[in-house]
Structure 1
């Protein structure tokens, strides 16, 4: 999400236009969804714990190219999750951190209008045990308004699930919300 405190910076970064109707400041800040250009998730399950890595790229699509704004990213981990690391790449800087305590949103300061923001987040999450089965739930559905308009812009979604249940244990996949290829 773009964090907009000054509405005068809101514009198309590719084709600037005059917006005489924009005045004042937003108090509290307005949140505008980022355009998603790609997202992938890799899940490695070991016994009762899943290690989830989500990598995504978004474009700051409605802020003037000469301006910048803060961006806020929500991390879709479950109740018993713990963030293990975050990597951020933007036009101004790249940084990473490890071993973060409880965190569900991440603020990325001063991202330039029109630029791409890439984030990779890794967390551990306990698998829920329900009706004799282990269950993993990670929200991986995106509303239409985060998908860029236009034929030239591609949006990629990818999910990779690896399960290590121990020796001699059969793994069955009961239900999924997304199609899986079994190897």
Structure 2
């Protein structure tokens, strides 16, 4: 029996190879697009879970202080200002910012239930203790140093603005 000449099948094998190459490239593009969408979804879920935790915490604090008059701090809000800056070196990713907000909010929860008019001395003490404090966050244990920029009391809410910068690894 004779071996058939492969010159007859050269066009077919070239077309089949191009088809398989296109299928692999298309699958890679589709996988990268779906990975990007999934990552965006996870970031949105993390942000919404943080909002839910904050709201549940606020609800428990408000029910605890509902019999008090309007001169007691009932909620603490923390804002990290680094993402507003256009420097890519000082901006934080969303998950790190959310973890940093939780940690700073936990430290400032000592003001909950305090009278608004008697908070001046305590705020200076807290500002000196928490200013330039280093927080260790994330799976890779990166260290971030915060700096308290502004503390503002409006009605029954304490609002704190901080900036954070990553500590160099020694």
Fold match, TM over 0.5? no
The structure with the largest helix share of the pair is 2
TM-score by length of 1: 0.25
The structure with the largest strand share of the pair is 1
TM-score by length of 2: 0.26
